Structure 1
């Protein structure tokens, strides 16, 4: 049995779908019963658990061979305090469950303890979960292409792509489709020890590349527009982030600008196959379907 936490999120959902497409038995873990109805209709088992509750996580892992684990992005409160609670619960539960393999979603740049904003919480998670299962993999993802869905409406209505990234700075980006496939691959393989797998798309991309992909899909010009640093805090606060979460996210973009969002020597470097245009086309399709 393969257990997937965060199945209603981007990476977790793609992991569950990739496993099911391969014919693997899957148990998805959600917080509320209604969140599991669609997965049950697809043939997955459904378990309920809160990530910061070791007893509930242990029960969700019962009988599992492999699990996909993650630390949710912060919305309210202190992200580092949240990570400490969730990391402790996950570590305790994995040890109790006698799990053979765990795949933990992390990020490129997680080798740094500081200077990366919210990515530093994943450094924290890696330290807490290292060695908790005989086979432990930290899947360090590039910047999710699907994150750009949050500003896709501006591309459609205004022909601009608001960005906290310098327009021409190329960084590792990847579609969550490829994240799910990579996680499913790691969960289904037999191996032992600790692995660090850094995952990016077929090539590194910039905000200008993303704008060009939106322009191609939409059939009209789209220009990347750098949001001035002095306006960013207000933008994130309007999106509902706490002061602590805002500071952590802005710290991530500062870390990217300072060159700390980079691959680590000596790790496994994987490339996905989903093109930037294909990932953006899916974003636009979902946006139009929701309209």
Structure 2
């Protein structure tokens, strides 16, 4: 039995589906019972628990041969304080459940304790969950291609790709589909101790490459437009992003610009199979 957190999200959902498709028994952990109907229809067991509730989470993890764990994206409040609470509760739950194997979602760049904005929360999350199971893998993902869905409407309507990334700077990017499949594959592997696996797409891409891929999907020229740093906070505020979360997100883009969103030489490096164009076709067609 594999337990998957975050099945209502992109990566957790892909991981759970991949495990189910290969015939594994799966238990998804969700915050609300009504979210579980479609998973039950696919044959998954459904547990309802909040990550910060160590008692409920320990029950959800009991009997698992492995689990996919994550720190959900921050929506409000202080992301750093929230990571301390969630990480401590999840580590306590995993130890009480005697979890034998864990794959923990993290990010490329998580080796840095500061200078990377919201990614630094994953540095702390890794520290809190290190050794949480006799076999623990930190799956450090590249920048999710699906994040570009946040500006897809502007791309489609105005033929312009607004970006906080330098259009010429290539960085590790990867589809959430590949991250979920990698998490499922890792859960089925055998290893001992802690390890780090860093995952990117078939190659690294820039915002300029993203604009070119959107152009291919839409069949017309798309221009990338770097949003000046002094305008970014106001844009996020207009989108309803709380100030503390916005500051953490903007810090991530500063870290990327400063070259901190880089793989570690001593880590295991893997690449997904989904191309930039394929992932963006899905973004446009499904509106995700």
Same fold (TM over 0.5): yes
CA distance in 1, matches of 2:286, 2:56: 33
Q: Which residue of 1 aligns with 2:38?
A: 38
CA distance in 2, matches of 1:71, 1:143: 16
- Range that drifts further, 18-27 or 119-128: 18-27
CA distance in 2, matches of 1:186, 1:238: 39
Q: Which residue of 1 aligns with 2:161?
A: 161
CA distance in 1, matches of 2:237, 2:56: 32
Is 1:252 paired with 2:242? no
Deviations 1:77-112 (A, max 9, x none): 000110000000011011011111101000000000
Q: Which residue of 2 aligns with 1:25?
A: 25
Q: Which residue of 2 aligns with 1:141?
A: 141
CA distance in 1, matches of 2:42, 2:237: 37
Aligned residues: 288
Q: How does 1:105-144 map to 2 (within 5 A)?
A: 105-144=105-144
CA distance in 2, matches of 1:130, 1:51: 17
Post-superposition shift, 1:238? 2.1
Q: Which residue of 1 aligns with 2:8?
A: 8
TM-score (norm. length: structure 1): 0.97
Post-superposition shift, 1:239? 2.2
Secondary structure of residue in 1 paired with 2:154: helix
Post-superposition shift, 1:21? 1.4
RMSD: 0.9
Secondary structure of residue in 2 paired with 1:102: strand
CA distance in 2, matches of 1:29, 1:162: 35
Q: How does 1:40-119 map to 2 (within 5 A)?
A: 40-119=40-119
Secondary structure of residue in 2 paired with 1:183: helix
Secondary structure of residue in 1 paired with 2:190: coil
CA distance in 2, matches of 1:20, 1:147: 26
**Contact preservation (8 Å) 1:75, 1:240:** no
- Range that drifts further, 202-211 or 238-247: 238-247
Q: Which residue of 1 aligns with 2:273?
A: 273
Post-superposition shift, 1:240? 2.2
Post-superposition shift, 1:237? 1.5
Post-superposition shift, 1:234? 1.2
TM-score (norm. length: structure 2): 0.98
CA distance in 1, matches of 2:71, 2:200: 20
CA distance in 2, matches of 1:59, 1:80: 26
Post-superposition shift, 1:10? 1.0
CA distance in 2, matches of 1:245, 1:108: 19
CA distance in 1, matches of 2:83, 2:225: 33
CA distance in 1, matches of 2:196, 2:80: 22
Q: Which residue of 1 aligns with 2:203?
A: 203
Deviations 1:164-221 (A, max 9, x none): 0000110000001110111001111121111100000000000011111111111111
Post-superposition shift, 1:122? 0.1
Post-superposition shift, 1:17? 1.1
Deviations 1:117-144 (A, max 9, x none): 0000000000000011000000000000
Structure 1: any 5+ residue segments left out of the alignment?
none
CA distance in 1, matches of 2:129, 2:184: 19
